[in-house]
Amino acid sequence: MVIDRNLMDRMADKVMDRFAEMFGGATVTEARGAWKNSKGALVKEPVVLVESFTDDAGSHWHTDDAFDLAAEVAGLMGQEAVALEVDDVLHLVEAKKVENQAAALAA
Protein backbone atom coordinates (compact mmCIF):
# COMPACT_ATOMS: atom_id res chain seq x y z
CA MET A 1 0.00 0.00 0.00
CA VAL A 2 1.42 3.36 -1.00
CA ILE A 3 0.80 6.01 1.61
CA ASP A 4 -0.31 9.45 0.48
CA ARG A 5 2.52 11.98 0.82
CA ASN A 6 0.22 14.57 2.39
CA LEU A 7 -0.83 12.05 5.06
CA MET A 8 2.82 11.18 5.78
CA ASP A 9 3.64 14.88 6.21
CA ARG A 10 0.65 15.45 8.51
CA MET A 11 1.54 12.47 10.68
CA ALA A 12 5.20 13.54 10.86
CA ASP A 13 4.06 17.00 12.00
CA LYS A 14 1.72 15.42 14.57
CA VAL A 15 4.50 13.27 16.03
CA MET A 16 7.03 16.11 15.93
CA ASP A 17 4.62 18.43 17.77
CA ARG A 18 3.83 15.80 20.43
CA PHE A 19 7.51 14.88 20.90
CA ALA A 20 8.34 18.57 21.28
CA GLU A 21 5.68 18.79 24.02
CA MET A 22 6.91 15.63 25.74
CA PHE A 23 10.66 15.93 25.30
CA GLY A 24 11.36 19.54 24.35
CA GLY A 25 12.09 19.00 20.64
CA ALA A 26 12.18 16.62 17.69
CA THR A 27 13.89 16.11 14.34
CA VAL A 28 12.29 14.74 11.17
CA THR A 29 14.34 12.88 8.55
CA GLU A 30 13.05 11.38 5.31
CA ALA A 31 14.47 7.99 4.39
CA ARG A 32 13.80 4.84 2.40
CA GLY A 33 13.04 1.67 4.33
CA ALA A 34 12.58 -2.01 3.61
CA TRP A 35 10.96 -4.86 5.50
CA LYS A 36 9.80 -8.42 4.85
CA ASN A 37 6.06 -8.92 4.79
CA SER A 38 4.24 -12.02 6.05
CA LYS A 39 4.74 -13.71 2.66
CA GLY A 40 8.49 -13.14 2.81
CA ALA A 41 8.51 -10.50 0.08
CA LEU A 42 10.76 -7.48 0.46
CA VAL A 43 8.73 -4.26 0.64
CA LYS A 44 10.55 -0.98 -0.02
CA GLU A 45 8.89 2.30 0.80
CA PRO A 46 9.57 5.89 1.74
CA VAL A 47 9.61 6.43 5.51
CA VAL A 48 9.72 9.42 7.80
CA LEU A 49 11.80 9.14 10.96
CA VAL A 50 10.91 11.37 13.89
CA GLU A 51 13.56 11.43 16.60
CA SER A 52 13.60 12.93 20.03
CA PHE A 53 16.05 12.60 22.86
CA THR A 54 15.38 12.92 26.57
CA ASP A 55 16.82 12.28 29.99
CA ASP A 56 15.69 9.56 32.41
CA ALA A 57 12.91 11.76 33.79
CA GLY A 58 11.43 12.43 30.34
CA SER A 59 11.65 8.76 29.48
CA HIS A 60 9.97 7.79 32.75
CA TRP A 61 7.08 10.22 32.32
CA HIS A 62 6.43 9.87 28.59
CA THR A 63 7.34 6.39 27.34
CA ASP A 64 3.72 5.19 27.58
CA ASP A 65 2.60 8.38 25.79
CA ALA A 66 5.04 7.64 22.94
CA PHE A 67 3.66 4.09 22.59
CA ASP A 68 0.08 5.41 22.56
CA LEU A 69 1.01 7.99 19.92
CA ALA A 70 2.67 5.33 17.76
CA ALA A 71 -0.46 3.15 17.93
CA GLU A 72 -2.66 6.12 17.04
CA VAL A 73 -0.50 7.13 14.08
CA ALA A 74 -0.42 3.56 12.76
CA GLY A 75 -4.22 3.44 12.92
CA LEU A 76 -4.66 6.81 11.22
CA MET A 77 -2.29 5.80 8.44
CA GLY A 78 -3.96 2.42 7.92
CA GLN A 79 -0.75 0.60 8.81
CA GLU A 80 -0.56 -2.73 10.64
CA ALA A 81 2.14 -1.30 12.91
CA VAL A 82 4.83 1.36 13.17
CA ALA A 83 8.29 1.10 14.65
CA LEU A 84 9.23 2.88 17.88
CA GLU A 85 12.75 2.77 19.25
CA VAL A 86 13.21 3.29 22.98
CA ASP A 87 16.60 2.90 24.66
CA ASP A 88 18.09 1.22 21.57
CA VAL A 89 15.29 -1.39 21.44
CA LEU A 90 13.00 -1.47 18.40
CA HIS A 91 9.32 -2.11 19.12
CA LEU A 92 6.67 -2.79 16.47
CA VAL A 93 3.62 -1.03 17.83
CA GLU A 94 0.33 -2.37 16.50
CA ALA A 95 -2.25 0.08 15.20
CA LYS A 96 -5.00 1.30 17.44
CA LYS A 97 -8.43 0.99 15.85
CA VAL A 98 -9.71 4.37 14.72
CA GLU A 99 -13.52 4.56 14.73
CA ASN A 100 -13.88 7.56 12.44
CA GLN A 101 -10.64 7.98 10.53
CA ALA A 102 -11.86 10.97 8.50
CA ALA A 103 -12.87 12.90 11.61
CA ALA A 104 -9.65 12.00 13.41
CA LEU A 105 -7.56 13.17 10.45
CA ALA A 106 -9.50 16.44 10.25
CA ALA A 107 -8.78 17.23 13.91
Q: What pLDDT does 99 receive?
A: 72
pTM: 0.84
Give residue-wise pLDDT tens across range 50-82: 999 998 888 889 999 999 999 999 999 988 889
Share of the chain above pLDDT 90, in %: 67
pLDDT, tens only, 33-54:
998 888 999 989 899 999 999 9
CATH classification code of 5-106: 3.30.70
| Ordered alpha helix ranges (H), 1-107 | 5-23, 56-77, 101-106
The structural domains of the chain, with segments of one domain joined by +, span: 5-106
- Asked if residue 44 lies in contact with residue 34, where contact means CB atoms within 8 angstroms, the answer is yes
CA-CA distances (angstroms) from residue 10 to 14, 17, 29, 66?
6, 11, 14, 17
